[in-house]
């Protein structure tokens, strides 16, 4: 036990993600935080193809639509205050141009359906058991898009309802992609607008449902990562929260990433992340003097590092970084001729 906190024990599942693994993360803030970290470190990640989703029903529906090869049409959109939305998607897909909204949705669907078919890992981050149902259609929406609250009915899913939905979903996912390993987690972010007690009931419903699913399917291809428990027990102090006191801080994300990566990431990839991060951070460097010899050496050094990495690990996606340093070097060389 750590002398400063009660450590959460994490099972060693024997699952190892590396830079050649394809994976998809779907759901709430844990998916976003860990997914963004993995994208930065050049893992082959498809992150939230419908945008951030919170409730189990919306997450399940998004996966079914990917497996079904859904194409969205004008009939699937709703206009509100001059902006076109999809009730299945986060507002990042919304636009004042209807066709632009459809194109963005369908292009992402096409890419993500292929990625899910090829993925080895699917990480599902459940945020809340509370759902909003559109009264006029009975549709469970992923996002209300600031439409009047009177148009929706608010309900809380029971553990049994979640289990029933996901038992069928998981079997469908394995028919679609037999090699897929599914990792559940419950987001530690509190949904305070639901109310303190209601939030706890919601999290309890999610935890009970996931436990029943894993008990039923076994842990060979279906397991749980305790992100909720890590925050509640290891980081039970407001200094690990953002200023809103609800979302977790970058320090807390770092802690969860360390716990996650130590169990889930292959050793070679863990070592490789250090080299990749140096290059990513170097790309963010803004020199005082772009015309100095020191800057030229800096650019040449990083290009050499990238090329050496790509020789050994040709699957690494360092195209943007390589292009950045080549363009900067070309600009330096052109400037030195003037």
pLDDT tens by residue, 107-152: 999 999 999 999 999 999 999 999 999 999 999 999 999 999 999 9
Assigned CATH topology for domain 22-265: Rossmann fold (3.40.50)
Tell me if 265 sits within 8 A of 42, measured CB to CB. no
Give the distance between the most distant pair of CA atoms in the chain: 73
pLDDT at 273: 95
The span from the CA of 241 to the CA of 313, in Å, is 37
What's the mean per-residue pLDDT of the chain? 94
Tell me if 261 sits within 8 A of 253, measured CB to CB. no
Residue linked to tokens 């038992």: 167
Q: Is 255 exposed, middle or buried, given 0-12, 13-18 or 19+ CB atoms closer than 10 A?
A: middle
The span from the CA of 93 to the CA of 108, in Å, is 10
pLDDT band at residue 239 using 50, 70 and 90 as cut-offs? confident
The span from the CA of 190 to the CA of 187, in Å, is 8
Tokens at residue 307, please? Answer: 């090329």
Provide the CB-side half-sphere exposure for 194 (13 A, CA): 23
> What residue ranges do the domains of the chain occupy?
22-265, 275-337
The span from the CA of 103 to the CA of 66, in Å, is 16
């Amino acid at each position: 036990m750590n002398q400063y906190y009660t450590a959460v024990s994490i099972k060693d599942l024997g699952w190892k993600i590396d830079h050649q693994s394809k994976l998809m993360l779907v759901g709430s803030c844990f998916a976003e935080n860990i997914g963004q970290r993995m994208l930065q470190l050049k893992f082959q990640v498809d992150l939230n193809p419908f945008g951030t989703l919170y409730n189990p029903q919306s997450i399940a529906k998004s996966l079914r639509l990917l497996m079904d090869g859904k194409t969205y049409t004008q009939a699937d959109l709703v206009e509100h205050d001059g902006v076109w939305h999809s009730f299945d998607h986060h507002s990042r897909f919304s636009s004042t141009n209807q066709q632009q909204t459809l194109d963005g949705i369908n292009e992402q669907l096409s890419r993500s359906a292929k990625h899910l078919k090829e993925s080895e890992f699917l990480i599902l981050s459940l945020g809340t058991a509370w759902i909003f149902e559109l009264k006029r259609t009975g549709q469970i929406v992923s996002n209300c898009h600031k439409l009047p609250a009177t148009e929706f009915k608010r309900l809380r899913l029971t553990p049994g309802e979640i289990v029933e939905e996901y038992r069928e979903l998981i079997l469908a996912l394995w028919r679609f992609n037999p090699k897929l390993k599914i990792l559940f987690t419950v987001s530690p972010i509190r949904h305070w607008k639901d109310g303190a007690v209601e939030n706890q009931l919601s999290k309890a419903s999610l935890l009970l449902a996931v436990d029943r699913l894993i008990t039923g399917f076994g842990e060979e291809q279906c397991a749980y990562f305790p992100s909720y428990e890590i925050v509640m027990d290891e980081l039970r102090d407001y200094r690990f929260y953002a200023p809103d006191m609800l979302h977790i801080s970058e320090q807390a994300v770092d802690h969860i990433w360390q716990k996650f990566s130590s169990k889930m990431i292959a050793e070679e990839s863990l070592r490789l992340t250090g080299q990749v991060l140096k290059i990513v951070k170097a790309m963010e460097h803004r020199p005082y003097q772009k015309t100095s010899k020191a800057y030229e050496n800096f650019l040449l050094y990083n290009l050499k590092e990238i090329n050496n990495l790509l020789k050994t690990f040709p699957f690494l996606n360092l195209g943007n970084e390589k292009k950045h340093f080549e363009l900067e070097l070309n600009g330096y060389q052109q400037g030195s001729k003037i």
